[in-house]
Structures are given as structure tokens and as C-alpha cells.
Amino acid sequence: MEIEVILTGSVLSEDDVKDRTVVVIDVLRASSTIATALNNGARSIVPVADMAQAGKIASNLDQQSYLLGGERGGENIEGYHLGNSPLEYTASRVAGRTIIMNTTNGTVAIDGARAAEHLLIGCFLNAGRVVDFVREADRDVTIICAGWRNRVSLEDTLCAGLLLYRLWDGREPDNVSDAAHIAFTQYAHDRDDLTAALQRCTHAKWLTQRGYGDDVAYCLQLDALPVLPYYRENRLVLFEDERVPILN
């Protein structure tokens, strides 16, 4: 299979994703929050690109059936039930609910990838499940790093590199794209002390300075959740009903 990596979700085109298995990565924090919410019993996640779309969808649902969650510029959105911290999405809060999610980077990238044959959400928490699906699907792959503020983010690039490292069994093949080479090489360089590398990321430090250090530590756990968020009929659901609640 051919694997392409896009290092920032702000430059997507339909040709990047059509007929392919697509993995959207936003480690800090949308991907990690989506995986956690579904793991803890949320019925589905409806990702939207902006607040207007979120409001329109919410207006057509029973108020008891959904929660609004997300952020803009890293800050909680006034009037929303939840922010973008995965630690807020506990089983007691989200079980049985639809989450309408609106974030600066992650849900925008998801929205741009809807033409994919298979659209998955990946992060460090569920890397193993993503790799298993990609291998089984055996289609050409696009890994989209959502990035931060329309720029490359190290945490998303390292997560993409981790997926490549596993898919390629630790050996980079010939004739890969420049972006895939960058992601693979960066992960290979940092993998022996991955936590330290991730904690140095600009976005991780920015969140920590604003009191979200526990979010950062949580999002950097490797293979902690055996769940795979899968895009179907305009929403993200569990690809299979297998979850191990880790938040109470």
C-alpha cells in the first residue's frame, strides 16, 4: 500500500483522501478526546467545522440526547457543556449521549476528509487499533496531522511516525514521500525517549502553562484504549463495540 502523510490539516484537498483509508490525528486534544468519549460510552461524536454548524445540528435534537463539546483557540466555548479535555468525558457524563464536537484543528481536519473510503481517528491512545485496521483494509493510506494554528505540530508528526514505524515494521521502504520520511525519521530519532520529546512540544508546553498538564500526560499514553473511532453517516462511532472504561 502507498502511504502519504499530510503534516497540517489546513491544506487538504478531496484528491488527498478519495478512495483511501484516512487517519486524522490531533493528539492534543481532539483525537484523544474522541477516543475517550467513545470508550466511555458516548453514543456517537458528530464533528463539525464551526459553531454555526454545531448550533444547527443541536437545534434538531432532543436537548437530553446531546452535549456540545469543544474549544476555540484552546479555550472552552461559552455555552458548551464540555471543553476539549479528555478528562471531562467521563462515563457518568457522556454515556448514551451524542457529542457535537467543534474544535479549532481536529474537527476541521475531519470535515475535510469526509470523502475518504474509510475515515479513522488516531492518537497515541489507540495507535494499535489504527494500525490493525489499516493493515486489514489494505488500501492506500493518507495520514492527516491536524497540526496547530495552521502549522506543523511535533506531537501529531511523531504519532504519524509511530504508525508508519509499525506499518513498515521499523524499516522505511524506498520511494516514500518527503512528509512520510520526515514523520518516520523523527519518530525513529525520538522513540527511545518519546515522552520527553512530546513534553517539549510547543503545544504541550502551551497547554501545561494553562493548567492542562494532566491532559498532556493522559494524551501521551501509548495503546491505552482498544477503540477505533470510525466515521459513518456524518458521525464517529466505535468500529466495534469493544471498550475498557478508564475514567470514572
Helix (H) or strand (E) holding 186, with range, is helix 178-190
Cα(232)–Cα(157) distance, integer angstroms: 26
Q: What is the reported pTM?
A: 0.95
- In single-letter form, the type of residue at position 211 comes to G
CA pair distance 163, 126, nearest whole angstrom: 10
CATH number at 137 reads 3.90.1560.10
The overall average pLDDT reported for the chain is 94
Mean pLDDT of 37-52: 96
Task: Write out pLDDT tens, residues 85-108.
Answer: 999 999 999 999 999 999 999 999
Q: Flag whether 109 is in a domain.
A: yes
Range of the domain at 163: 3-232
**Quick one: which of 48, 89, 43 has its CA closest to 237?**
43
The domain total for the chain is: 1
Q: For residue range 171-220, what is the model confidence (pLDDT) as tens digits? A: 999 999 999 999 999 999 999 999 999 999 999 999 999 999 999 999 99
Looking at residue 159, what is its pLDDT?
A: 98
